[in-house]
Amino acid sequence: AADLPRRAAPPVFVPVPVFTWTGFYAGINAGYGFGTGNDNNRTTTVLATAPVFAPGAVGAAVFNNRNNNEGFVGGGQIGYNYQFTPGSGVVIGVEADAQYVDFGSQRNNATIIGANVNNLTFVNPNGLSGLDYFGTVRGRLGYAFDRTLVYGTGGFAYGGGGGNDFGLPNSSRNDFRTGWAAGGGIEYALPTDSFLNFFKSSAVTLKVEGLYVNLDRDNRNNGVFAYSPATGATYSVNTPGVVTTGYNNRRSDEFVVVRAGLNYKFGSY
């Protein structure tokens, strides 16, 4: 019996884990944002008589409405994905992000033509402003081709900041605004042996995303083009003897963000 050949134990089969996008994740992002409003550069001209200007004279205040709503955007995000079938298949999820925005405030740039006898300070009647921060809470729907995920996204947006966009005392525009956001992107999960996968796991993903954001704004002081620092009196586009051209009374901040991000997904597979 000792001379009989021994049967070798069958090899142990170890299945290769199939990647899935299911799980919580958190990460950072950075990119560039730029305004999309098509009326930001329309010149606004306010023609006025007394009491804004000297009695019997006609003066004008001209605002060039130069747009400066663009700059660096960066922040972080957290979210959760659920993939119905590991490997390739439909993926749904939810994501929340908070962003710092380096958008410059709109410039007043008023040119005054005429004799101003009331020592008034002139401000843009359109109430243009910048933005200091924004964030979103969005749903995501996509399709995974193994480690590549293509998705669309949309949902709630909020933001605020911009300083005194009317230049009036006690009219700071650091108010909270809400709106909506929509966009899409592509995300890729790095293989374990990738030199970019510094965690040496299957949990590091890279993404590129485009997002359109529309934030509603109130018009509390829209239309005011001059005020008296001494008396607090204000003059608006509806003041008798005032004629305005190019006044657009904007009520929203609209911009597009293009950004790249890095996420860490908790749970390797």
Residue 95 has what pLDDT?
98
Residue 170 has what pLDDT?
57
Q: Model-level pTM?
A: 0.75
Single-letter amino acid, residue 185: G
Residue 7 belongs to a domain: no
Residue 100 has what pLDDT?
93
Residue 13 belongs to a domain: no
Calculate mean pLDDT across residues 58-78. 83
Residue 56 belongs to a domain: yes
Residue 96 has what pLDDT?
98
Q: Rounded mean pLDDT of the chain?
A: 81
Which of 49-63, 69-83, 193-207, 254-268 is the most confident on average?
69-83
DSSP, res 229: T
CA 166 vs CA 105, 116, 129, 131, 163: distances in Å: 11, 19, 8, 14, 9
Q: Sheet of 242-245: strands edge to edge?
A: 110-113, 59-63, 44-48, 242-245
CA 134 vs CA 12, 36, 131: distances in Å: 53, 16, 8
Across 16-25, 134-143, 144-153, least confident range: 16-25
Residue 157 has what pLDDT?
97
Residue 258 has what pLDDT?
97
Name which of 244, 256, 265 is nearest 60 in CA terms.
Answer: 244
Given a cut of 80, is residue 192 above it in pLDDT?
no
CATH of the domain at 220: 2.40.160.20
Domain boundaries, position 173? 23-265
Residue 11 belongs to a domain: no
Residue 112 has what pLDDT?
81
pLDDT band at 265 (very low <50, low <70, confident <90, very high): confident
Calculate mean pLDDT across residues 245-253. 71
Domain count, the chain: 1
Given a cut of 90, is residue 237 above it in pLDDT?
no
Question: Could you give the CA distance from residue 212 to residue 7 in angstroms, rounded to a whole number?
Answer: 66
CB of 264 closer than 8 Å to CB of 14:
no
